[in-house]
């Protein structure tokens, strides 16, 4: 039947158009065009609905005037449409018209048929006629039904039984009367047909009310859909339909202006959402290295990614440390070259962007005349001594941070002890001291804050219940728009599933506990041996280096001079490997194993670092002894100098000595700074070289030698390396510790570290992606994040200890650094208080620092901390209790639901039993009429459902209810269904089982 | 001159390598060093020594005792890369399930796997065993006869596999091989498999078992399996024969033909 094919095709176009509409919306096309399309889609849907309705109605009634008024109506509709949307493009209109005409033609055909059958009906007996009519329409109907219900033969038959009686009753009603009604029906259809969209202006208040009700109903349905015991497919279909419905008719509720406003509002919200999404994307793009890390995460799991996130975090912290030292210490000191006032630096930096070069130069010359400064070479501490001048530019010297590098802004010794520099009286020594303290304080603050935040996150998170469900249903990231990223996400989800499964397996394993314990003790013993050995080796090397230092470093080779650094780096590199091998004895869960490994490496590094610091202390003491001698010598030298000149001519100006020739003390602070910088450099070099040799070279060899080797290199013996998370993290942490320790004596350290981290990020990202393979035992690292932080905190504390110790106990050198001439470094604060603040302030300060005030304050703080901790503990407990309660409630609900379901099932079974009995009975009786009954099922399902829902016989003799949008009063009697079947976009839910009920009653 | 302290710092690395790869070192010692040493001392080849031991320590006509003697010699005295008892059990199981009538074995070596397969064959089945090396073939012949299998059950062909496979159809009237066991040169796995395919000796359901696909390993073979789609295949993971720590696998292929 052409009608059928037409319907399906329309169906397709409808969906297509709808999609197009949605896409349009998202792509932000022109509003007019979009609206036109939407309206078009709506209209077609309406039409389809109409046709369905008509088809069902045709079987029982003829519309006589229809064929006559057809042309006229078409004209009218076209006119109206043209008025409504003359903006739509030409071909769209054409298409629509074509569709329309097609639909109309089929309709008229059917009408003719119907009329024929009606005539026949007049002559012949009702039943026979019905049969022939049904025969014609059977095809359409059965197909239709199959489409909706995926054809269940048995059910269909049963339904037919139910439908039949209804049909007969209806027939009578139709034949007796309802000519005016038919015409009304026709009108109604026409309206729907022409209207396309439901026009609020054309709707009566009751209809509007109904519409509103329907919309509300749909909304409710959407909300409560989740809890309904339907199959997923049905839920999805219903959801989509209801959403479409609501979207379509919600706008119709407002009138005129309000409606426009509504549409505008909807569009604005959508646009706003899109903007928000874009903004999120933009924000993600702004996070440095985010894509890289995500890519790594998807390939290597979260543990490897956590290292890179940590690295990034570290980079951020170093950035701030660097800007502090650079902005407040290095730049002011360096910029004295240009004779610019130091407090102007920020303004100048801004100025460079805004003013012309010429004006800047003018400004410079202005400041040059007005300000004084101490550039390089002006005073002894800023000059390379005469003895070192010859080799001060050699690469070897510079590489060791001697020569020009030593007498530069990079180290403590270069800074002048002038109290205030420039016009604006920038307090250089004070700034130096405060920056040193501030960097450490800031680091403490950041680390502790991050720890607290992490603890919060882990506290809120669901603890492993419904783990797989969470992963299953919530892991996809719907913001992904890039196919490559989607692939990555897919890989990452798969990995996370693997991790979860592995974890589950691990938690269920249990082995021989005694053997495991013994092995664990053994492993720890071995590790301790290893630690002791490495400690002794470093101690030995340090002692030897002191001997070398006493002999004079020039007499020894490069190897011997750098022995300490080399040995420390090598041990730091190889011992973790040994620990790793030993830890296979222990058979821990990978995450626990990682923590043990971290702890061991931590101990190793700490031992190494502290041995180094002890050695450094010895060196400082040596230098200070040397300093005493030099100090004495200098007084002698000055005395001879002035005596010599004074005897000749006392009135002559004092002879100027080139600063390079002035004898100097051994500046121990610079020495300490140098040592730290050297350590950092050698550490970085070792890391990179290991990376290149251990990972890259190995990967290259494995990859390319595999073709001509006698065993499989990739799967077997050397294979590719795995990324060593624990070692790398600890390397990073200790590196940071060294920075914190050394930054006071070498302001360049944060800058160096920044450089190192930056290079590391790229190099390691590349190395991981190109030469490492994912770990065999992938696991989650979420819990160990705070572990890293705790370690960082410990290291921070341990690294500030020696720094504070040196600052507090050792007097600064007499001729270098910002604190030269003072007894202790922190005297600078006292000095500032005395000279720069009013007298009362220093008085207040001295009172405040009185132990009588400080001790109670500390006590108060301790009390406050205790109080806060106890409250937080109680909160935690309350949380746990609440969680338990929730779970209990959930379980109870489940039980209840189960019981209800069981009961319903039993009822249903009973009904089924009785129904099957009656059905059998009926089959025996009505075997001859069976075919007719089959035929009768052509009728629309609405009717069936209708019937099913109102099984009471009193409703049975009602006039046939056609799914047409009819005015209120007529519909009032079936308002109790609450199912506005007259609206498109709503497919009836057939209830096959209930259909049998009427037949049951009939017998 | 590098100082001794720096050299000492490399000690952990050395230890790590030794511990991590201990099985490989043990294997190297047993399979290479001991073999060279014994060759020099006794003047016999390794296979001849194995044969002597088996001859004196097993019951003739009893395949089980011969296999046991082999296993003992290979695990305690010297090393010969037979299929070994663990993977041998897998092989036995596969043979029992399949109960093939024509079996081809590539690489008989000294007859261990031949005896193992022949023992598990159903009545009336025939095993063609190909060995390239003359000396090994002679020993394999003796072992097979010692185990009590005659010419009707086991036919030993002394020739390289790539020469024999093309002639199997013409010279030995073979239409279809039910079971193929590969344990010769790992590099020849792929070409021989392709030869078998090319000469149409594999039918739907033919099973091919390849030993040592992970260590020493046949990466090209595995890559081909993944790509070609002619087989339903899996790898039985196990350890290398007579050694605990080295992972190895045996690939089991079932020919599906072109779909």
Tens of pLDDT, residues B166-200: 998 888 888 889 999 999 888 889 999 999 999 88
Tell me what pLDDT residue A258 has: 65
Tell me what pLDDT residue A996 has: 40
pLDDT tens digits for range A682-720: 889 888 998 898 889 999 998 888 777 777 777 666 778
The residue-averaged pLDDT of A559-572 equals: 82
Is residue A437 over pLDDT 80?
Answer: yes
Bridge partners of A421, per DSSP, are A426
Partner-chain contact A714 B16, CB within 8 Å: no
Tell me what pLDDT residue A633 has: 85
The residue-averaged pLDDT of A157-177 equals: 45
Same structural domain, B211 and B129: yes
Query: Pick from B63, B90, B88, B62: which is nearest to B75 by CA?
Result: B88
What is the chain A residue with the closest CA to B221?
Answer: A712
Is residue A128 over pLDDT 60?
Answer: no
Number of domains in chain B: 2
Please check whether residue B4 lies inside any domain of the structure: no
Question: Would residue A667 be called left, alpha or beta, if left means φ above 0 and alpha means ψ between -120 and 50 degrees?
Answer: beta
Q: Please tell me the least confidently modeled range out of A41-50, A76-85, A943-952.
A: A943-952
| A262 confidence band (pLDDT: 50, 70, 90) | confident
Same structural domain, B102 and B227: yes
Is residue A512 over pLDDT 60?
Answer: yes
Strand order in the sheet with B177-182: B154-158, B126-131, B102-106, B177-182, B202-210, B247-255, B231-239
Partner-chain contact A717 B24, CB within 8 Å: yes
Alpha-carbon gap, residue A218 to A215, rounded angstroms: 5
Is residue A24 over pLDDT 60?
Answer: no
Q: Please tell me the least confidently modeled range out of A27-31, A329-333, A387-391, A761-765.
A: A27-31
Partner-chain contact B13 A710, CB within 8 Å: no
- At which of B77, B104, B127 does a domain end? B77
Note the ipTM here: 0.77
Same structural domain, B110 and B227: yes
Q: What SS3 string covers A337-369? A: HHCCCHHHHHHHHHHHHHCCHHHHHHHHHHHHH
Place of tokens 């101690």: A539
Question: What DSSP designation does B252 have?
Answer: E
Among B20, B21, B217, the residue with its CB nearest the CB of A712 is: B217
Q: Which residue has the higher pLDDT, A616 or A927?
A: A616
| A73 confidence band (pLDDT: 50, 70, 90) | low
Residue B135: count of CB within 10 angstroms of its CB: 12
Residues of chain B neighbouring A567 (CB-CB closer than 8 A):
5-6, 8-9
The residue-averaged pLDDT of A39-56 equals: 50
Catalytic-labelled residue, pool B183, B192, B248, B252: B183
Please check whether residue B6 lies inside any domain of the structure: no
- The answer, for A320 touching chain B at a CB cutoff of 8 Å, is no
Q: Which residue has the higher pLDDT, A642 or A471?
A: A471
- Is cis: bond before B216, omega within 30 of 0? yes
Tell me what pLDDT residue A716 has: 66
Alpha-carbon gap, residue A895 to A903, rounded angstroms: 12
Place of tokens 């710092």: B9
Determine the structural domain holding residue B235 and report its residue range: 85-255
Please state, in angstroms and as integers, the Cα–Cα distance from residue A317 to each residue in A443, A742, A888, B218, following that order: 7, 16, 45, 50
Residues of chain A neighbouring B15 (CB-CB closer than 8 A):
578, 581
Same structural domain, B69 and B126: no
Same structural domain, B214 and B110: yes
The residue-averaged pLDDT of A402-407 equals: 80
Q: What distance lies between CA B193 and its chain's CA centroid?
A: 15
CB A680 within 8 A of CB A752: yes
CATH assignment at residue B212: 3.40.50.150
pLDDT tens digits for range A263-298: 788 889 989 999 999 998 888 888 888 888 888 877
Out of A119-128, A585-594, A851-860, B213-222, the most confident range is A851-860
Q: In terms of residues, how long is chain A?
A: 1003
- Both structure tokens of A523: 């492993």
Partner-chain contact B9 A557, CB within 8 Å: no
Same structural domain, B18 and B132: no
Tell me what pLDDT residue B209 has: 93
Alpha-carbon gap, residue A103 to A9, rounded angstroms: 11
Tell me what pLDDT residue A445 has: 93
DSSP A52-78: HHHHHHHTT---HHHHHHHHHHHHHHH
Q: Which residue has the higher pLDDT, A509 or A752?
A: A752
Q: Please tell me the least confidently modeled range out of A679-688, A863-872, A921-930, B143-152.
A: A921-930
Q: Which residue has the higher pLDDT, B120 or A64?
A: B120
Is residue A769 over pLDDT 90?
Answer: no
Same structural domain, B70 and B100: no
Among B1, B16, B217, the residue with its CB nearest the CB of A716 is: B217
Bridge partners of B126, per DSSP, are B102
Same structural domain, B118 and B159: yes
Please check whether residue B243 lies inside any domain of the structure: yes
Partner-chain contact A566 B6, CB within 8 Å: yes
B interface with A, Cβ–Cβ below 8 Å: 1-3, 5-6, 8-13, 15-16, 19-21, 24, 186, 214-219, 246
Out of A19-23, A97-101, A646-650, A805-809, the most confident range is A805-809
Please check whether residue B60 lies inside any domain of the structure: yes
- Both structure tokens of A384: 């390379």
Tell me what pLDDT residue A553 has: 65
- Both structure tokens of A416: 């002048």
The residue-averaged pLDDT of A837-850 equals: 84
Place of tokens 């003895």: A387
Tell me what pLDDT residue A509 has: 66
The residue-averaged pLDDT of A927-933 equals: 51
Same structural domain, B43 and B134: no
Helix axis angle for B34-42 and B46-57, nearest 10°, is 80
Same structural domain, B179 and B245: yes
Buried b (16+ CB within 10 A) or exposed e, A817-844: bbbbebeebebbeeebbeeeeeeeebee
Bridge partners of A426, per DSSP, are A421
E strand or H helix that includes residue A773: strand A772-773
B197 is catalytic: no
Q: Which residue has the higher pLDDT, A510 or A931?
A: A510
Question: What DSSP designation does A931 have?
Answer: H
Residue A740: count of CB within 10 angstroms of its CB: 23
| A76 confidence band (pLDDT: 50, 70, 90) | low
What is the chain B residue with the closest CA to A566?
Answer: B6
E strand or H helix that includes residue B233: strand B231-239
E strand or H helix that includes residue A95: helix A90-123
Count how many Cα atoms sit within 13 Å of the Cα of residue A484 in the half-sphere of its side chain: 5
Is residue A462 over pLDDT 60?
Answer: no
CB A670 within 8 A of CB A816: yes
Q: Parallel, antiparallel, or unpaired: how do β-strands B177-182 and B202-210 relate? A: parallel
| A65 confidence band (pLDDT: 50, 70, 90) | very low
- At which of B24, B43, B77 does a domain end? B77
- At which of B58, B77, B96 does a domain end? B77
Same structural domain, B35 and B94: no
Please check whether residue B1 lies inside any domain of the structure: no
Tell me what pLDDT residue A181 has: 41
Q: Which residue has the higher pLDDT, A621 or A189?
A: A621
Catalytic-labelled residue, pool B131, B186, B192, B248: B186
Tell me what pLDDT residue A771 has: 87
Q: Which residue has the higher pLDDT, A301 or A118?
A: A301
Tell me what pLDDT residue A940 has: 44
Is residue A194 over pLDDT 50?
Answer: no
The residue-averaged pLDDT of A325-336 equals: 74
Partner-chain contact B9 A574, CB within 8 Å: yes
B186 is catalytic: yes
Residue B127 C-alpha, separation from nearest chain A C-alpha, in angstroms: 29
Residues of chain B neighbouring A542 (CB-CB closer than 8 A):
none
- pTM of structure: 0.62
Residues of chain B neighbouring A566 (CB-CB closer than 8 A):
6, 9
Same structural domain, B58 and B96: no
Please check whether residue B175 lies inside any domain of the structure: yes
Q: What is the pLDDT along chain B (259 residues), one digit of tens a residue?
A: 567 888 888 888 899 989 888 888 999 899 899 999 999 999 998 889 999 999 999 999 899 999 999 999 998 888 888 888 889 999 999 999 989 999 999 988 888 999 999 999 988 899 999 999 999 999 999 999 999 998 888 999 999 988 999 998 888 888 889 999 999 888 889 999 999 999 888 888 899 999 988 888 888 888 888 888 889 888 888 888 888 878 888 999 999 887 6
Tell me what pLDDT residue A319 has: 92
Please check whether residue B5 lies inside any domain of the structure: no
* Neighbouring residues of A189: CB distance < 8 A, sequence distance ≥ 6: A50, A53, A54, A964
Please check whether residue B91 lies inside any domain of the structure: yes
Taking all residues of chain A, what is their mean pLDDT, rounded to a whole number?
70
Alpha-carbon dihedral A899, A905, A910, A913, rounded to 10 degrees: -160
- The answer, for A540 touching chain B at a CB cutoff of 8 Å, is yes
CB A811 within 8 A of CB A631: no
């Amino acid at each position: 039947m052409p009608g059928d094919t037409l319907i399906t095709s329309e169906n397709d176009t409808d969906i297509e158009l709808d999609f197009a509409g949605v896409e349009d919306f998202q792509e932000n096309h022109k509003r007019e065009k979009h609206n036109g399309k939407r309206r078009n889609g709506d209209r077609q849907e309406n039409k389809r609905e109409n046709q369905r309705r008509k088809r069902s109605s045709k079987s029982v009634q003829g519309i006589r005037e229809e064929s006559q008024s057809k042309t006229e109506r078409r004209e009218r509709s076209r006119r109206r449409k043209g008025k409504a949307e003359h903006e739509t493009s030409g071909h769209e209109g054409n298409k629509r018209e074509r569709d329309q005409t097609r639909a109309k033609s089929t309709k008229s055909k059917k009408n003719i048929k119907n009329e024929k059958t009606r005539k026949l009906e007049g002559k012949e007996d009702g039943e026979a006629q019905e049969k022939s009519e049904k025969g014609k329409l059977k095809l359409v109907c059965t197909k239709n039904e199959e489409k909706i219900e995926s054809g269940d033969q048995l059910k269909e038959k049963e339904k037919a039984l139910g439908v039949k009686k209804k049909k007969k009753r209806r027939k009578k009603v139709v034949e007796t009367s309802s000519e005016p009604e038919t015409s009304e029906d026709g009108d109604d259809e026409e309206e729907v047909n022409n209207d396309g969209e439901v026009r609020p202006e054309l709707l009566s208040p009751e209809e509007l009310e109904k519409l509103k009700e329907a919309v509300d109903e749909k909304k409710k349905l959407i909300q409560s859909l989740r809890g309904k015991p339907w199959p997923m497919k049905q839920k999805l279909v219903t959801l989509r339909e209801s959403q479409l419905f609501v979207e379509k008719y919600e706008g119709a509720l407002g009138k005129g202006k309000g409606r426009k406003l509504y549409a505008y509002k909807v569009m604005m919200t959508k646009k706003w959402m899109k903007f928000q999404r874009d903004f999120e994307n933009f924000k993600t793009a702004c996070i440095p290295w985010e894509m890289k890390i995500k890519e790594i995460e998807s390939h290597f799991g979260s543990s490897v990614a956590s290292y890179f996130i940590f690295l990034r975090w570290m980079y951020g912290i170093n950035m701030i440390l660097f800007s502090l030292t650079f902005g407040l210490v290095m730049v002011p000191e360096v910029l004295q070259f240009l004779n610019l006032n130091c407090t102007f630096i920020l303004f100048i930096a801004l100025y460079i962007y805004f003013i012309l070069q010429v004006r800047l130069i003018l400004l410079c010359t202005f400041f040059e005349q007005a300000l004084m400064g101490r550039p390089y070479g002006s005073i002894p501490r800023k000059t390379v001594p005469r003895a070192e001048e010859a080799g001060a530019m050699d690469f070897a010297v510079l590489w060791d941070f001697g020569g020009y590098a030593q007498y530069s802004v990079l180290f403590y010794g270069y800074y002048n002890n002038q109290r205030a520099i420039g016009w604006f009286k920038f307090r250089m020594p004070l700034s130096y001291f405060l920056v040193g303290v501030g960097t450490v304080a800031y680091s403490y603050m950041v680390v502790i804050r991050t720890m607290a935040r992490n603890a919060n996150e882990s506290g809120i998170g669901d603890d492993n219940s419904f783990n797989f469900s969470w992963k299953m249903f919530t892991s996809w990231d719907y913001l992904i728009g890039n196919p490559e990223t989607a692939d990555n996400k897919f890989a990452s989800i798969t990995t996370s599933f693997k991790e979860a499964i592995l974890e589950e397996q691990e938690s269920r394993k249990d082995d021989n506990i005694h053997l495991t314990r013994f092995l664990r003790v053994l492993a720890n013993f071995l590790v301790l041996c290893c630690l002791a050995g490495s400690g002794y080796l470093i101690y030995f090397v340090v002692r030897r280096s002191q001997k070398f230092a006493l002999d004079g470093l020039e007499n020894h080779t490069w190897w011997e001079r750098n022995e300490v650094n080399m040995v420390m780096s090598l041990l730091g590199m190889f011992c973790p490997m040994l620990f790793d091998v030993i830890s296979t004895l222990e058979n821990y869960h990978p995450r626990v194993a990682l923590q043990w490994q971290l702890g061991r490496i931590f101990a190793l590094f700490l031992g190494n670092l502290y041995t180094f610091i002890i050695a450094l202390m010895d060196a400082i003491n040596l230098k200070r002894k040397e300093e005493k001698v030099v100090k004495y010598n200098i007084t002698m030298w000055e005395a001879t100098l002035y005596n010599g000149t004074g005897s000749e001519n006392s009135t002559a100006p004092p002879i100027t000595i080139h600063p390079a020739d002035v004898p100097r003390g051994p500046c121990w602070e610079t020495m300490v700074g140098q040592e730290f910088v050297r350590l950092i450099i050698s550490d970085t070099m070792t890391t990179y070289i290991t990376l290149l040799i251990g990972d890259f070279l190995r990967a290259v060899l494995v990859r390319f030698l595999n073709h001509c080797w006698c065993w499989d290199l990739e799967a077997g013996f050397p294979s590719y390396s795995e990324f060593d998370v624990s070692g790398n993290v600890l390397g990073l942490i200790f590196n940071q510790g060294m920075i914190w320790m050394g930054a006071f004596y070498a302001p360049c350290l944060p800058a160096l570290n920044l450089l190192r981290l930056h290079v590391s990020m790229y190099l390691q990202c590349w190395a991981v992606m190109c030469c490492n393979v994912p770990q065999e035992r992938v696991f989650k690292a979420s819990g160990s994040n705070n572990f890293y932080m705790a370690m960082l905190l410990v290291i921070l504390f341990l690294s500030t200890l020696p720094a504070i110790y040196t600052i507090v106990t050792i007097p600064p050198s007499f001729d270098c650094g910002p604190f030269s001439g003072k007894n202790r470094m922190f005297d600078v604060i006292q000095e500032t208080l005395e000279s720069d603040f009013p007298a009362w302030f220093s008085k207040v300060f001295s009172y405040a620092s009185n132990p009588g005030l400080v001790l109670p304050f500390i006590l108060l703080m301790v009390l406050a901390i205790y109080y806060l901790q106890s409250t937080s503990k109680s909160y935690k407990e309350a949380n746990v209790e609440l969680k338990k309660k929730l779970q209990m409630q959930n379980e109870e609900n489940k039980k209840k639901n189960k019981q209800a379901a069981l009961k319903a099932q039993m009822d249903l079974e009973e009904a089924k039993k009785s129904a099957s009995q009656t059905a059998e009975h009926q089959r025996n009786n009505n075997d001859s009429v069976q075919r007719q009954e089959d035929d009768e099922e052509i009728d629309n399902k609405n009717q069936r459902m209708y019937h099913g829902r109102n099984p009471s016989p009193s409703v049975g003799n009602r006039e046939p209810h056609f799914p047409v949008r009819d005015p209120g009063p007529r519909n009032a009697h079936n308002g109790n269904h609450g199912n506005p079947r007259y609206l498109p976009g709503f497919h009836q839910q057939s209830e096959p089982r209930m259909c049998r009920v009427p037949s049951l009653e009939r017998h | 001159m590098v100082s001794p302290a720096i050299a000492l710092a490399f000690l952990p690395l050395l230890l790590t390598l030794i511990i991590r790869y201990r099985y490989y070192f043990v294997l190297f010692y047993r399979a290479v060093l001991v073999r060279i040493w014994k060759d020099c001392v006794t003047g016999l080849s390794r296979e001849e020594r194995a044969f002597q031991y088996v001859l004196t320590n097993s019951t003739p006509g009893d395949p089980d005792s011969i296999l046991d003697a082999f296993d003992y010699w290979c695990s305690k005295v010297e090393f010969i890369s037979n299929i070994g008892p663990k993977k041998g059990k897998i092989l036995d199981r596969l043979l029992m399930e399949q109960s093939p009538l024509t079996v081809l074995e590539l690489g008989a070596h000294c007859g261990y796997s031949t005896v193992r397969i022949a023992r598990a064959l159903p009545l009336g089945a025939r095993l063609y065993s190909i060995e390239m090396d003359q000396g090994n073939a002679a020993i394999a012949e003796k072992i097979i006869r010692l185990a009590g299998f005659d010419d009707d059950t086991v036919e030993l062909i002394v020739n390289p596999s790539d020469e024999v496979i093309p002639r199997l159809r013409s010279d030995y009237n073979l239409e279809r091989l039910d079971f193929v066991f590969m344990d010769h040169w790992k590099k020849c796995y792929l070409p021989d498999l392709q030869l078998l395919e090319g000469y149409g000796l594999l039918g739907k359901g033919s099973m091919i078992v390849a030993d040592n696909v992970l260590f020493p390993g046949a990466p090209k073979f595995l890559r081909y399996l993944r790509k070609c789609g002619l087989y339903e295949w899996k790898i039985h993971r196990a350890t290398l024969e007579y050694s605990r720590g080295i992972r190895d696998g045996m690939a089991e292929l079932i020919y599906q033909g072109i779909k």
